[in-house]
Structure 1
Amino acid sequence: MSVVPALGAQPALLPDWLDAEHLISSFGSYALIGIVLVVFVETGLLFPLLPGDSLLFTAGALVAQDALDFPLWLLCVLLFAAAFLGDQVAYFIGHKAGPRLFRRPDSRVFKQQYIDQTYAYFDKYGGRTVILARFVPIVRTYAPVAAGVGGMRYRTFVSYNVIGALVWGVGVTVLGYLLGTISFVRDNIEALAVLIVLVSVVPVAIELWRGRRAARRADGGRDERYDEPAERAAVERKAFEQ
């Protein structure tokens, strides 16, 4: 397997761990396995800082350019499976760990603001968040966990998860494949990957800003006798069970 550099000797626009093309190239002959594992880890093992969207798009584009030596159908089948199983694992982590998981102290990867942001999406979109969150970095990692914590019915979650894995894992990959033969895309694939990351991050930034503004407004009237995370989980559980 060989990966054809899209930008030649131009300087990288993203750090190596976010540069989808560099990441795929680093996998060498194990590119297919590496791509699938990255998607599974991001969606299932609470590690949000990976290039999900741009990885899918770039993988599809490189297959179209014959820079990867496996067929599109195989890539799509395995990415669908990885995206679906990843969310299943995350759901059961949330279901088994419960609210304790959401009270963990901040670490390099886990931040309470990620959880707050995910709850904001559930408040706004309900169960559809499982689908919509696929296209939002960080939120896609914690949405299935929040669904498990909140007690969303498993059958309902699986239905949303199948649709989400299909439109994201397969849809974005096929989009990259269809556009990958266009000369502009082929010559600027890394720049386009940066654009995908930036566009994906915009909703995250907006929700964080709204959340912080709402938190500042509510600070004065907060009653510390109540355990906010537990109360919030109870509210979400009631909504999911309906």
Structure 2
Amino acid sequence: MSNFDWTQLINPEFYILMEIGGIKIGLIVILFIIFAETGLFAGFFLPGDSLLFLAGIYSELLTRQISVGNDFVNLVFLSSLVSLAGILGNMVGYWFGVKGGTYLYNREDTFWFKEKYLLQSRDFFEKYGGKAIVFARFLPIFRTFAPIVAGIAGMNKSKFVFNNILGSVLWSFSMIFAGHYLSDLFKNQFGIDLKAHIEMIVIGIVLFTTAPVLWKLLKKRVVHK
């Protein structure tokens, strides 16, 4: 860790390749991050989408210790573990919303918690209802606070659980499978190793996933002027 650079914290490859004492712990770190995005209110800076896409690219490395010798089965197992971490994280966020109630709206801003993100997620939830839990999985910031808002709003628990499971499975499987099979496609068809272009991939995913959020904020400012 002597060459540690703080900028690595926003680099998803850093987490995937992490090791302690020569032991690869990337899979454990990924599962914790996905849980933390909703369970610990840390989603506004953690690299969720790009992390899962890169997990697909590095799936062979991540599943090496639990491999059953079948590439597809390994990919399904990896995606399932990530889905479970996301489901549990959302459940914790929902629980905080139910128990915390309006307390969160009066809480002071910290590095980990921003009231404006909570308000934006509330507007998003009011617009899309239960579907917001599914849609929010694919949107940074919203996926952190949507389950909390659902808890505060008293959303039916069974309805929340259904949308939570659906959203987490769709998000995890689509991002990981896309990373894995696009990596294979580029390597086999064009001779391009996506691992050599990680920075560009991360930037592209960040721009793509944050564009709807930025557009919503810009539109809101224009309306208020």
TM-score (norm 2): 0.83
Q: Give the whole-Å Cα distance in 1 for the aligned partners of 2:7 and 2:210.
A: 16
Q: Which residue of 1 aligns with 2:54?
A: 58
RMSD over aligned Cα atoms: 1.9
Candidates 9, 26, 35, aligned match of 1:17: 9
Q: Which residue of 1 aligns with 2:28?
A: 33
Q: Give the whole-Å Cα distance in 1 for the aligned partners of 2:29 and 2:81.
A: 11
Candidates 149, 155, 176, aligned match of 2:158: 155
The answer to whether the 8 A contact 1:76-1:170 is kept is: yes
Q: Which residue of 2 aligns with 1:187?
A: 196
Q: Give the whole-Å Cα distance in 1 for the aligned partners of 2:101 and 2:61.
A: 44
Q: What SS does the aligned partner of 1:15 have?
A: helix
Q: Give the whole-Å Cα distance in 1 for the aligned partners of 2:170 and 2:199.
A: 23
Candidates 63, 67, 81, aligned match of 1:78: 81
Q: Which residue of 2 aligns with 1:5?
A: none
Identity, in percent, stands at 36
Q: Which residue of 2 aligns with 1:207?
A: 216
Candidates 105, 109, 115, aligned match of 1:106: 109
Q: Which residue of 2 aligns with 1:42?
A: 37
Question: Deviation per CA, 1:77-124, whole angstroms, max 9, x where unpaired?
Answer: 210110111101100000000011122121122112101211221232
Candidates 203, 207, 218, aligned match of 1:198: 207
Report the CA distance between 1:213 and its aligned residue.
Answer: 4.3
**Which residue identity is paired with 1:154?**
K
Q: Give the whole-Å Cα distance in 2 for the aligned partners of 1:37 and 1:115.
A: 22
Map 1:89-104 to 2 at 5 A: 89-104=92-107
The answer to whether the 8 A contact 1:133-1:139 is kept is: yes
Q: Give the whole-Å Cα distance in 1 for the aligned partners of 2:130 and 2:222.
A: 25
The answer to whether the 8 A contact 1:117-1:211 is kept is: no
**Which residue identity is paired with 2:53?**
F
The answer to whether the 8 A contact 1:116-1:211 is kept is: no
Gaps of at least 5 residues in structure 2 are 67-73
Q: Give the whole-Å Cα distance in 1 for the aligned partners of 2:199 and 2:208.
A: 14
22-31 or 86-95: which moved more?
22-31
Q: What SS does the aligned partner of 2:10 have?
A: coil
Report the CA distance between 1:175 and its aligned residue.
Answer: 1.1
Q: Which residue of 2 aligns with 1:236?
A: none
TM-score (norm 1): 0.78
Q: Which residue of 2 aligns with 1:131?
A: 134
Gaps of at least 5 residues in structure 1 are 1-11, 218-242
Give aligned pairs, total. 202
The answer to whether the 8 A contact 2:80-2:169 is kept is: no
Larger radius of gyration: 1
